[in-house]
Amino acid sequence: LERSRKTLAGGVSSNVRAGDKPFPLFFDHGAGSRLWDIDGNEYIDYVLGRGPLFLGHTYQAVIDATCKQLQRGQIYAAQHELEYELSERVSRIIPCAELVRFGISGSEAVHGALRLARAATGRQTIIKFEGQYHGWLDNILYSLAPDPGVAGDALSPATLAESNGQFSGADSHLIVLPWNNLAVLEEYLSRHGNTIAAIITEPVMCNTAVIAPQPGFLEALRTLCNGYGIVLIFDEVITGFRLSLAGAQGRFNIVPDLTIFGKAIANGMPISCLAGKEKYMGLIAAGKVGHGGTYNSIPPACAGAIANLDALEANNGEVYRTVEHTGTQLMNGIRAIGARLEVPIVVQGYGAIFYVGFPLSGEQTVYDYRSSLTMNNELYTAFVSAMVDRGVRIIPRGNWFLSAAHTEADVESSLAAVEAALTEAVVPALPST
């Protein structure tokens, strides 16, 4: 770690322990639901690269397809059939995808979507929702969650409140409104609706507490955007190919104008997808909006994505039933242990991605960013550390990612770790009643 800090800004990334106490984990390799550190310790992994590894580590068909393409030779910035084949696959799967483009990261695909929306409407202002993350580019960045030291943390909710909901940090054309709050949105649009280019949203708020849209919220977004001529963008970088094959738009049956899929598209190979209606994506085809990138549609990633989609679509989407089943067992098990040990605990979300946290008060659901601030992050950090010590790797901010490689035996071992970690690290720290 010391050595890495001499050449790497901040040192080697640590995704597990908050800070470096007592030291970050260095990993050696992964397989299926497991990771091994350089000391040979084994972990059940619920981080999964923060989402991409929906089929688990080292999924063989994706590796084979990627390697085969590497051996055939790289073809950058030129026509190749894999890009075309992948575009056909993706446009068949994603409901709004009349046309698609591929890039490397979610952040740049978000950038592309905003650019299209502005070009199509001739308007500049974008609305996003508090606590949602759409990549690390300045014009859309806003505080992730209240973890100290996380990028964007300086853009605090207090700043938002003082500016009456208007975020004037990196981009004065960004308006940040509360999630799941139709009244505030309707009121804002009644005054400014005709100046808004796009509303961008994670259809399920995965970057804060895996918060589901309240019934009717996504439908209302669709209706309001139609009414005001606003482009509706679903950022499905996490939910895409995870909540269902067709993402949240498939699961909830709401069709946005533009969408971004990333992470689980190629089980770990770097590729993202910007997709949407011809009316908007056609601006790229007509040469009116640029879409660049040396590594866009890089062939090994396209090959990996196609192999990945083969597996996701196999047996009528069996992997989704598997993940939903295993994840639900895990969620229910955590709730049951919490109840038995009398630990107030919030467990919410879906089998494929869910959130676990300890409320500061008795509150039992987290329904927007502000209510997520009532969670006891310090206690969760202690819990994360205790889990890592027991061979289960989880993200410090509370999201658990499942893969098709996780088995019922993994769930059982993980629940044993949860019970021990709660008993030893959480119960003694709870305020006595």
The binding site for ligand PMP (CB under 6 A) comprises 50, 105-107, 110, 133-135, 202, 207, 235, 237-238, 262
- Cβ proximity to ligand PMP: between 110 and 189 the closer is 110
Smallest gap from residue 288 Cβ to ligand PMP (A): 25
For the bound state, the minimum distance from the C-beta of residue 273 to ligand PMP, rounded and expressed in Å, comes to 11
**Which of 51, 85, 36 is closest to 65 using CA atoms?**
85
- Looking at the Cβ atoms of 110 and 405, the one nearer to ligand PMP is 110
Torsions phi, psi of 210, nearest 5?
45, 65
By beta-carbon proximity to ligand PMP, the closer residue of 174 and 238 is 238
CB 274 within 8 Å of CB 248: no
Q: Is residue 51 a contact partner of residue 247, using CB atoms and an 8 Å limit?
A: no
Residue 55 and residue 77: Cα distance in Å, rounded?
A: 29
- In the bound state with ligand PMP, the residue whose beta carbon lies nearer, of 237 and 402, is 237
Cβ neighbours of 420 (radius 10 Å) = 15
State the nearest-atom distance from the C-beta of 134 to ligand PMP, in Å: 5
User: What's the closest the beta carbon of residue 248 comes to ligand PMP, in angstroms?
Assistant: 11
Q: Which is nearer to ligand PMP, 348 or 399 (CB)?
A: 399
User: What is the smallest separation between the CB atom of 190 and ligand PMP, expressed in angstroms?
Assistant: 28
Characterize the bridge pairing of strands 174-177 and 125-129: parallel
Dist. CA 87–CA 94, nearest whole Å: 10
C-alpha 428/C-alpha 408 separation (Å) is: 29
How far is it, in rounded angstroms, from Cα 308 to Cα 296? 18
Half-sphere exposure of 416 (CA within 13 A, CB side): 8
The residue type of 400 is W
Comparing CB distances to ligand PMP, the nearer of 52 and 169 is 52
Q: Enumerate the β-bridge partners of residue 400.
A: 354
Least distance in angstroms from the C-beta of 103 to ligand PMP: 9
- State which residue has the least CB distance to ligand PMP: 106
Q: Please give the Cα distance from 225 to 277 (Å, whole number).
A: 14
Q: How far is the CB of 331 from ligand PMP (least distance, A)?
A: 20
Give me 319's structure tokens. 């992997």
How many residues are recorded in the chain? 433
Q: Which helix (H) or strand (E) holds 37?
A: strand 34-37
Shorter beta-carbon distance to ligand PMP: residue 50 or 222: 50
Q: How far is the CB of 301 from ligand PMP (least distance, A)?
A: 12
CB closer to ligand PMP out of 167 and 234: 234
